[in-house]
Amino acid sequence: MLYFVATPIGNLKDITYRAVEVLNMVDEIACEDTRHSLTLLNHYGIKKPLFSYHKFNELDCAEKIIAKLNSGLNIAVISDAGMPVISDPGNILCKMLKERGLEYTVVPGANAALSALILSGLDADTFTFLGFLKGKESERKKFLEKYKSLDTTLIFYCAPHDVKKDIATIYSVLGDRVCVAVKEITKLYESAITFNLKDGFPVEPKGEFVLIVEKGNAENPLHEMTEEEHYKSLINKGIDKKEAIKIVAKERGVPKSSLYKYTIEKEV
C-alpha cells in the first residue's frame, strides 16, 4: 500500500495521530527534501529509510516507487509541508497508480490553501485553487483569462521572489480586487495582509505566500475583455490611439510599452 501523508505547514504539532502511526508503520518514506523531513521525523522519533522524491526526478522516482510496492513494501509519500500532490510532487504517481490498478490512500491533515482562505476573511462558500502561476508572462495571462469572470474566490501559491510580479500579472488580467496575502501560517509571525491589487504589495515580501483574491464581478466589463478588445473598444468610441493606450495601461496596471503592438497591428 502507498500512503500520501499530510505533514505540518508550520507548527510541528499539526500532524494527526494516524499520520504518525502510518509513518512509523511503513517500510520507507519518499520526501521532497530528506534533510527538511528529518526535522519532523526526529521530533516524533520516527526512524525509517528515506529517499528523495521531488519535481526534478518525479517521473523516474515514480517508477521506482511502483517497483517497491510490487516487491511488497509499504511506502509513505510526504512533501516538505502540507498535502503531497497539491502543487507538490505526487500527481504523476497518482495517475500511474490508477492506470496500473495499484492501491493507494490518503492520510489527510494540514493544508495551506484552506487555512489561508479562512484567515483571509474573504468568501469561502465557493473558491477555486489555481496554485502557482507558471511560464512566460504571456502564458500566465492566458491562463488567468479563463478565470477572470469566475464568481468564486481565487487561491494562488506564491514564492517570495514572485510575489510582486504575480500580483501585477493578476491585476493586469483580473482588474482591481481585494487581495489578502497570508504567510507563516500556524507559526509565531502568522499574518494576513489585506490590500487592493492596483496598489501592489504594501511591504517587502519574505517567505512563502498564499494569495487570496476576491471573486470576480461579471458586471465589470474589464472582466469580459482582453487587453486588445479593451483597446479597440476605446478606439471605436473615438478616443485617439495614444489616449486609448494610456487608459488601458492605467485601468489594467500594465506598462504602456506592452500595448503598442495593438496600434501597429491596426495600422497594418
**Residue with more model confidence, 238 or 94:** 94
What is the Cα–Cα distance from 29 to 60, expressed in whole angstroms? 16
CA distance 80 to 53: 11
Rounded-to-integer distance, Cα 147 and Cα 145, Å: 5
The rounded mean pLDDT for the chain is 90
Q: How confident is the model at residue 254 (pLDDT cuts 50, 70, 90)?
A: confident
Q: Which CATH class is domain 2-110?
A: alpha beta
Output DSSP code: residue 196.
Answer: E
* pLDDT classification of 218: cutoffs 50, 70, 90: low
Look at residue 117 and tell me whether its pLDDT is greater than 90.
yes
| Geometric angle at alpha carbon 166, from 203 and 193, rounded to 5° | 35
Write down the pLDDT at residue 236. Answer: 84
In DSSP notation, 49-105 reads: -EEE--TTTHHHHHHHHHHHHHTT--EEE--SSB-TTSSSTTHHHHHHHHHTT--EE
pLDDT at 30: 96
Percent of the chain with pLDDT over 90: 68
Average pLDDT over residues 126-143: 94
- Distant-in-sequence contacts of 257-263, Cβ < 8 A, 24+ apart: 258/227, 259/227, 259/231, 262/227, 262/228, 262/231, 262/232, 263/231
Least confident of 12-16, 141-145, 209-213, 245-249: 245-249
What pLDDT does 268 receive? 34
Within 13 Å of residue 181, how many CA atoms lie on the same side as its CB? 22
**In percent, how much of the chain has pLDDT > 70?**
95
The tens digit of pLDDT for each residue in 45-81 reads: 999 999 999 888 888 999 999 999 999 999 999 999 9
CATH code reported for the domain at 113-218: 3.30.950.10
Q: What is the pLDDT of residue 266?
A: 47
Q: Give the pLDDT confidence score for residue 267 in this predicted structure.
A: 43
